Structures are given as structure tokens and as C-alpha cells.
Amino acid sequence: KVPVAGMLDPGYLEKRAKLISPDKSMGRARPGVPAGVKPDIKPKAEKEEEKGLSTSHLVVVDKDGNTASMTTSIAMAFGSRLMVDGFMLNNQLTDFAFRPSRDGRPVANRAAAGKRPRSSMSPTIVLDGAGKMVLAVGSPGGGRIIGYVAKTLIAALDWKMTMQEAIDLPNFVNRNGTTDLEKGTLLEALKPALEAKGGKVNIRLLVSGLHGVRVTPEGLEGGADRRREGVALGD
């Protein structure tokens, strides 16, 4: 069960925010323990590897406002290498930790009956206080999906960019270690300054596949990632 109340508690959030300094890299962040969590398992997750271009995302909104935000994946390229009725079967079981325990403590993402493996897939629908859809978005990208989606949400909701502008922004992701900056973008210029603050920085391709729809006073506004094949269409 996700401890939502503990994770959103103002005191807990303030404590976590104090770990962040604009002047110096914290290196690797230690996991927090919000109220409702029993720290009786090994918290560190194994790195989720890139899985190639085997994941897709789509967003659909109809004339009545019904919304679907769906990420689908066969995990590694060609999945399990098995085909049934013309489609490939996934190998999502590889998202479980291969080692069930470390140092005598069970790993949270160990395989077990009835469990779903840890995943970074983040199909997102944002609602307003009245429960109406404001924005829907998602992306492929393995362990970097969370960063891609977070960037787009902040740009669209906080910075008031259009859906396409938010998607087009350069990608930057840190998975509790090295900061990845998107190759061939203006973000490359940040590398020296970030390294001067003690951070590890890598310039690389960050091939998101973001697709999103948002509600505006004029109607629905869509956006599709130019980094992959994708299109935004509407009636």
C-alpha cells in the first residue's frame, strides 16, 4: 500500500527539501521514511536498464472528456522472443530484482506470487479540484520515464507552456547518481557548472516519446514528441 498521507505530509516534505542545496551536489540521496512505512526491507532499487524502442504511449480524449493515458511495453527488444497470434509476448518479469535478498535482508522488488514488478511507467492524468481533466501525458523511456513526464508537467502547469512546447523542452534526468543532459541541446552548456558543484554529468541522447493532451479555454491541445515517431490529431 502506498503511504500517500505520509509522503505528502508537509513536515516530511520540508525535511526532504532541506537536503537540496543550490550550491552543492548531495551526491546520492538517502531514501526517506514517510509515516506508514516500515523500513524492514532493503530500500535501494536495482537500476532499471534501458529497453530499446519497445515501449509506446498514447493519450486519447473524446468529446465528452473521457480520457485514457496508456503506456504499453514488451520490455526488451522483441520481448520474450515468443510470438502468439502475430504479436510478441513481453518479458516484464525481468523488471523484478534477480536477487531476492542482499546482506540477509529481503529486496522489495523480489519476485513473489501475486506481485507486480517495479516499473517506471508513468501514464498520468491531472485533475482539478472538481475532478475535471486538466492534462494527460506519458512517455516511453525505461528508467528515465519519470524524469521525462515530470519535466513536461512542470513546464505545462507551472511555466504555462503549450503542450508541444513542454514536450519539446530539452530532457534532463538524474536517477540518484549521474545527471544526464540531452545531447545537442542548450543544456550541454550546464555541464561545467554542475560539475563544479560536485555533480557527475553525462551528455547523451535522451529519446523520450512524450504524448500529451491538455484542456484550454479554446478546447483540447495536443502535443507529440519529435524525438520519435508520433503525431497529435483531433477532429
Catalytic residues, by residue number, are 55
Cβ–Cβ under 8 Å, residues 173 and 180: yes
Strand spans (E) along 35-119:
55-61, 67-73, 83-84, 87-88, 101-102, 105-106
Q: Output the nine-digit C-alpha cell for 84.
A: 502468439
The DSSP 8-state label assigned to residue 211 in this structure reads: E
For CA atoms 45, 47, 51, 55, the dihedral sign is positive
Non-local (6+) Cβ contacts of 70 within 8 A are: 57, 58, 59, 123, 138
How far is it, in rounded angstroms, from Cα 42 to Cα 151? 29
CA 142 to chain centre: 8
In single-letter form, the type of residue at position 184 comes to G
Q: Name, in order, each residue with C-beta under 8 angstroms of 125's C-beta and a sequence gap of 6 or more.
A: 67, 69, 133, 135, 136
Chain length of the chain:
235
CB 162 within 8 A of CB 221: yes
